[in-house]
Structure 1
Amino acid sequence: MACLGVFVAYLPVTTVAVSLPAIQAALDASTAQLSWVQDAFVLPMAAFILTAGVVGDVHGRKKVFQAGLLFSAAGAAVALAAPSIEVLWAGQALAGLGAAALLPTTLALISHAVPDHRERGKFIGLWATSLLMALAVGPLIAGLVLEHTDWRWIYLLVIPVSLVATVFAARLLTDSRAPHGRRLDWPGQITAAVAITALVYGVIEGGAGSFTDAQVLAALFIAAAGAVAFVLAERRSDSPMLDLALFRSPAFTATTLVAMITFLGLIGFFFLLSLYFGLVQQLDTLQAAWRLFVVTAASIVVGGPVSRLMHRIHARILITAGLLVVSGALLSMTTLDADTSFVSIAWRLALLGIGMGGILTPMTATAVASVPQHLAGMAAAGNNAFRQIGGALGPAVLGALLTSRALDTFPAHLADAGISGAGRRTIVETAREGGLGTVAQMNLGAQTGQALGAMGDAFLDGLRLCLIVAAALTLLAALVSAVLLRPRTSSAATVKVAAQPVPDAVKVAVQPVPDAVKAAVQPVPGTVKVAAQPVPGTVKAAVQPAPGSAPPPAR
């Protein structure tokens, strides 16, 4: 059920991504409005994912899981009937709320059902494979739909799948709650939602207009103030939505930063790649879908072996290597042009997928296993929240960069194509007001071909800049992984995370399963790297818990 839940949560991501050109043409949307189609989904998912984790801890994860499925179905139904871009945003937002409920509860259900962190890694691998499957089949579904009918029908599949899954969940799932009392953290929820919403709004509007506009500056100021208020609220709360002590664990901090930075670059890249296929290469949706399928198919193929390698190779090596591969793949695509063949781009996309497949499972498993078991749900929600914040910022940041760069070079490309004078000024102003895509809808007579060629060249200028930025972000994430995920010589940081007077945490730490005991005190080559990585400091922490609490197995 957890795998089905994450499948439903992520299916809208790529079905919508490859349908953006069709949506833009049908609803006459600008580039900024098109960015909000993606962000209307990701934004509530990022803003409310932590709250959903707390609600599941308090009221039962099964109930929140079922609510997430129903929200997903409702969002798909609204989007299916959307007559305008604003209604589509509303449907995407409802689906995003559903995803916010599904992601932390699916991981928390796995953590509850499989307490052994080594065995749990296999199930998290299946969870990650289901996520990648959703990303893989989404473009193909959208392509088939758009070949035969209206774009709105891409949302149809989610409705019956969600409703059937809700019924089966009622019969098959056993409800679970956090083993200690928690309450909803309203100050934390409100300040987090304000900060995230204001930040994404400011970046999108700044990219569409200017970052010196009063409304953009106000939004960014509100985002900064909201972030400060969130930190203060969490420090004062006796039942925080996100316990800031989690960040004393280097492993949790590293995986969270890696998730946010990586998804900022990757989700932004996929947003731009779908536009490249539609605007520059003039491919239909199904042709674009097969190209995107290469990425996720490669990730799925690699995901299984990587989940098994986690028992032999430290997560630091797997994550860092995967990020370096992703960075190389992004840089290799800076030579793309309007005539790049499927074969030429396929190996680069496959390389990107291989890198992604090496990141997702160890990143998620490390985040969950780096904290005591009673905090696993919060850790999963926190990791997912920062991942989605990066995903929300990706299209906004890279879309703004692409638009700015493309509009700067567009007049020169028009001049090179032989278009000058009043005609060039009209085309440039149209592009500035409605986005580059609006040029394709202009009636330019004999100059249409030259204008579209110039538009494609300007788009490629922006795309190359974005690829370099995305690759640099991925290299930064690799550096964070290499530095913070090093085997620790002292468990002090981990002890601080666990040092909370919670009885259940003591039970988790002092009553390990037999395999965990063996892993902690009798290292076996190949398994100790993932299970415990004991050094003198961590052995003491594992068998001599601090007064009043006990640390989890060190990472």
Structure 2
Amino acid sequence: MDDRRNIWALVAVALATFMTYLDNNIINVALPAIEQDLGLTTAGMEWIVSSYILTFAGLMLVGGRLADLVGRRRIFLIGLGIFTAASFAAGLSGNVETLIAGRAVQGVGAALLTPTTLAIISATFTDKRERNVAVGIWGAVSALALAAGPLLGGVLSEHVAWEWIFFINVPLGIVTAALAVWAISESRDPVDRRLDLWGLVASTISLSTLTFALIEGTGRGWTSAPIVTALAIAVVTAAWFVTVERRIEHPMVDLGLFRDRVFSGALASLMLWAFGLFGIYFFTSLYLQGVLGFSPTKAGLTFVPMALCMAVAAATSEGVARRFGAHRSVSFGMGIMGVAITSVAFFGQDASMLDLMPSFIAIGIGGGLTIPLTATVLGIMPQDQAGVASGVFNTSRELAGLLGITVIGVILTSRQDSVLSDGGLPWTPS
């Protein structure tokens, strides 16, 4: 019975992961339809995307710690309820202000929900090998969500209505909640720790202001007063966070873990992975539609082979790592990703979907083989701090992904300026 419940607990966690990852990118290809319907300005479109990322990245560390203290299933269900209700409200919104607010509340729910997924896996599958397999499945579902996001966003916005990119979360949320209530056992940090209130405040302010700066820096200018102020606040509150964590008896994050070479190496590799994958995913979507003239549906379909290969590689990564060593499989996967991402730079304005496939498939295989990084981070963190471990993991991934988008955006803007100064035509997404 326990084994069967554990499997259904994994299904519930996988469905929740699918929902939150889906909403990271389902919105992108639907923006033209939303723009036409609501009469959006450029700033409005940016904030429909950014409001979700801002609250999601800024509160994940808090969500992980609350899960450890209050109970992982309880925070899972609270986050799931907030996310589902906010999705329904976003679908009903008739103006841009309501839609942005709904997206921001979605991010709050996702910030509570996402860290608990890996924490529940860690608490449910105590055998190392079973846990690694479960993490591989979790990674495979994440990859499938990356494929489904653009595809579903394109199909629904073209052939149904853009509101359904939010409404589809409602039945998924209800089914996931029912499974979670039955299958997931409650777990928490067994030590009676006080809530590290100042650590929570400092981390939230630092992560939120840093996220804001990364999102808005290119548009507002990196030397503009709002961005300089946001970066300064992020640095000051990060220093405050480190000071608090060093002095408190029960810190939110044990900073001594970062002296562990394996932990720090795994986290650095994870951030490089997110930097490359998120950046290439975001701007390749623009390239497919703005340069190659793909429809939203065709652009979404182009990513499907990449994500399917990533899902297969993620599901089998534990066996590959056990046979060849996690350090070798991860290094091999990172190498494949690096070469494949570099190859995308050589495509021009006449590339076809078939031309892109070898690079996209290689990115997918390489990305999937890096999933043992997740198990490494979870395995090093103490079992009673699994929520914090998941929060650190997901926050690092999200910020590194934002940084990748920012850096590539700066390069793209610089390239456009160079082309314009030479008398050429700028590339702008259609």
Residues 1:160 and 2:171 are matched in the alignment: yes
* 2:51 maps to which of 29, 34, 40: 40
Provide the rounded CA distance (Å) in 1 between the counterparts of 2:407 and 2:89.
28
Give yes or no for contact 2:306–2:360 (8 Å, CA) kept in 1: yes
Give yes or no for contact 1:72–1:159 (8 Å, CA) kept in 2: no
Residues 1:252 and 2:223 are matched in the alignment: no
Q: What is the SS of the residue equivalent to 2:364?
A: helix
What residue identity is the alignment partner of 1:406?
Answer: Q
Residues 1:363 and 2:373 are matched in the alignment: yes
Does the C-alpha gap of structure 1 residues 344 and 30 become closer, same or farther in structure 2, counting only changes over 3 Å? farther
Shift of 1:30: 6.0
Residue 239 (structure 1) aligns with: 250
Residue 383 (structure 2) aligns with: 373
Residues 1:103 and 2:153 are matched in the alignment: no
Shift of 1:54: 1.8
Give yes or no for contact 2:276–2:341 (8 Å, CA) kept in 1: no
* 2:160 maps to which of 130, 149, 152: 149
Residue 410 (structure 1) aligns with: 420
Q: Deviations over 1:153-187 (max 9, x none)?
A: 21111111112211232222221111212332221
* 1:396 maps to which of 406, 419, 424: 406
Residues 1:282 and 2:293 are matched in the alignment: yes
Give yes or no for contact 1:242–1:378 (8 Å, CA) kept in 2: yes
Between stretches 119-128 and 310-319, larger displacement belongs to 310-319
Q: What is the SS of the residue equivalent to 1:335?
A: coil
Q: Percent identity?
A: 33
Structure 1: gaps of 5 or more residues:
417-453, 460-555
Shift of 1:152: 2.6
Does the C-alpha gap of structure 1 residues 58 and 263 become closer, same or farther in structure 2, counting only changes over 3 Å? same
Once the two structures are superposed, the pairs formed by residues 521-536 of structure 1 within 5 Å of their partners are none
Residue 235 (structure 2) aligns with: 224
Provide the rounded CA distance (Å) in 2 between the counterparts of 1:273 and 1:246.
36
Q: What is the SS of the residue equivalent to 1:455?
A: coil
Give yes or no for contact 1:260–1:390 (8 Å, CA) kept in 2: yes
Does the C-alpha gap of structure 1 residues 56 and 23 become closer, same or farther in structure 2, counting only changes over 3 Å? same
Residue 181 (structure 2) aligns with: 170
Provide the rounded CA distance (Å) in 1 between the counterparts of 2:348 and 2:319.
38
Does the C-alpha gap of structure 1 residues 131 and 343 become closer, same or farther in structure 2, counting only changes over 3 Å? same
Does the C-alpha gap of structure 1 residues 28 and 325 become closer, same or farther in structure 2, counting only changes over 3 Å? farther
Give yes or no for contact 1:76–1:95 (8 Å, CA) kept in 2: yes
Between stretches 393-402 and 361-370, larger displacement belongs to 393-402
Residues 1:14 and 2:25 are matched in the alignment: yes
Provide the rounded CA distance (Å) in 1 between the counterparts of 2:183 and 2:232.
47
Residue 90 (structure 2) aligns with: 79
Q: What is the SS of the residue equivalent to 2:54?
A: helix
Give yes or no for contact 1:14–1:135 (8 Å, CA) kept in 2: yes
Structure number, greater radius of gyration: 1
Give yes or no for contact 1:43–1:388 (8 Å, CA) kept in 2: no
Provide the rounded CA distance (Å) in 2 between the counterparts of 1:293 and 1:113.
31
Q: What is the SS of the residue equivalent to 1:283?
A: coil
What residue identity is the alignment partner of 1:398?
Answer: I
Between stretches 260-269 and 399-408, larger displacement belongs to 399-408
Residue 426 (structure 2) aligns with: 455
* 2:61 maps to which of 40, 50, 54: 50
What residue identity is the alignment partner of 1:388?
Answer: E
Provide the rounded CA distance (Å) in 2 between the counterparts of 1:125 and 1:251.
19
Shift of 1:33: 5.2
* 1:70 maps to which of 60, 74, 81: 81
Give yes or no for contact 1:16–1:38 (8 Å, CA) kept in 2: yes
Report 1 or 2 for greater relative contact order, CA contacts < 8 Å, sequence distance ≥ 6: 2
Does the C-alpha gap of structure 1 residues 348 and 401 become closer, same or farther in structure 2, counting only changes over 3 Å? same
Does the C-alpha gap of structure 1 residues 126 and 278 become closer, same or farther in structure 2, counting only changes over 3 Å? same
Shift of 1:318: 1.5
Give yes or no for contact 1:44–1:96 (8 Å, CA) kept in 2: yes
Provide the rounded CA distance (Å) in 2 between the counterparts of 1:167 and 1:78.
21
Q: TM-score under structure 2 normalisation?
A: 0.90
Q: TM-score under structure 1 normalisation?
A: 0.71
Q: What is the SS of the residue equivalent to 1:127?
A: helix
Does the C-alpha gap of structure 1 residues 408 and 215 become closer, same or farther in structure 2, counting only changes over 3 Å? farther
Shift of 1:226: 1.4
Q: Deviations over 1:11-43 (max 9, x none)?
A: 212312333444455555566654443332222
Once the two structures are superposed, the pairs formed by residues 111-510 of structure 1 within 5 Å of their partners are 111-359=122-370, 361-410=371-420, 412=422, 415-416=423-424, 454-456=425-427
Provide the rounded CA distance (Å) in 2 between the counterparts of 1:154 and 1:173.
28
Q: What is the SS of the residue equivalent to 1:267?
A: helix
Aligned CA-pair RMSD: 2.3
Residue 428 (structure 1) aligns with: none
Does the C-alpha gap of structure 1 residues 123 and 205 become closer, same or farther in structure 2, counting only changes over 3 Å? closer
Shift of 1:286: 0.6
What residue identity is the alignment partner of 2:126?
Answer: P
Q: Deviations over 1:90-118 (max 9, x none)?
A: 22222222222222212111111221222
Shift of 1:328: 0.7
Does the C-alpha gap of structure 1 residues 35 and 250 become closer, same or farther in structure 2, counting only changes over 3 Å? farther
